[in-house]
Amino acid sequence: MRFSKDEAERYLAIAASAARLGGRTLLELWGKLTDIREKSLAGDLVTEADHKSEECILLYLQEQCPDHSILSEETGLHEVAGSEFVWVVDPLDGTTNYTHQIPYTAVSIGLLYQGIPVAGIVYNPFLGEEFKAGFGLGTTLNGKIIRVSGTASLSKSVLATGFAYDRRENPDNNYAEFCYLTAHTQGVRRMGSAALDLAYVAAGRFDGFWERGLKIWDIAAGVILVREAGGVITSYENRDPILDSGRILASNGIIHDEMSRVLLSVPQEIEPILFKTQIPKE
């Protein structure tokens, strides 16, 4: 892949400026939402904050890089024929958190070159944390280099995961894995933003992360964050991740093989008691 550090620095600066524009919009609309709707799946929310943040980001990226394609969560693909670059934008990752004023939410912007993540930023304007990574540049948090954890075993680790919006109907969910890993680690956190979960793996706050049903805009930035921080990110089967496959396993690298074996071996026929129990009506 012919992509230089100078290019990475240039595009990372553009991504940071775009993310701050989106973040400013999220701050302005915090606690002031008037339009909260569901998409095609129950619980998959979208608000005016998603749309206004996306609008700011796309206008800036199109101005700075008019020859690049853009793939954004809310408006889809804005294709430039022949472009080897694609910006992948999630203007508000963690919308449910945002609607409830839980400050674990972020703007996520990744840049793909020939389909490979080469720059990425995950920006949480509410906590003032800006995670950035560029190909060959390492990963930083507010300008300081960060690295993945040194935790050496799954039993000593703290992990993160999330659940797909169709988890109630789709048998391809990770409830069984969640139950098993909760019992065999120091804890599993379900925070509500895959982009920030991956950033936290890069920062050594989480030792590992896995999830199903993810979209490319959830992880495009996180992939480069984890890799440049010394971590590993693959499919469950420990293969290079296909960005639109939806199944992601990220870790500090030390516990990666162990996590992969667990995820592939946990019996999936475990049915959570939640679906067997009828909640009494008043």
Residues 114 and 19 in one domain: yes
Torsion over CA: 175, 149, 214, 60 (sign): positive
What range does the domain containing 186 cover?
Answer: 154-265
- 245 within a domain of the structure (yes/no): yes
Tracing tokens 């939410």 back to the chain, one arrives at: 105
Query: What is the Cα–Cα distance from 160 to 189, expressed in whole angstroms?
Result: 5
- 280 within a domain of the structure (yes/no): no
Q: pLDDT (tens digit, 0 to 9) for every residue of the chain, 282 residues total?
A: 678 889 999 999 999 999 999 999 999 999 988 877 766 555 556 788 999 999 999 999 999 999 999 999 889 999 999 999 999 999 999 999 999 999 999 999 999 999 999 999 999 999 999 999 999 999 999 999 999 999 999 999 999 999 875 555 565 678 889 999 999 999 999 999 999 999 999 999 999 999 988 999 999 999 999 999 999 999 888 887 667 667 899 999 999 999 999 988 887 655 544 444 444 555
pTM of the model as a whole: 0.91
The predicted pLDDT at position 165 comes to: 59
Q: Report the domain count for the chain.
A: 2
The predicted pLDDT at position 120 comes to: 98
- 164 within a domain of the structure (yes/no): yes
CATH number of the domain within which 21 lies: 3.30.540.10
- Give CA separation, 125 vs 36, 102, 120, 131, 258, in Å: 21, 12, 16, 11, 34
The predicted pLDDT at position 274 comes to: 46
The predicted pLDDT at position 269 comes to: 53
CATH number of the domain within which 256 lies: 3.40.190.80
Residues 137 and 27 in one domain: yes
4 CB-near residues (< 8 Å, 6+ apart)? none
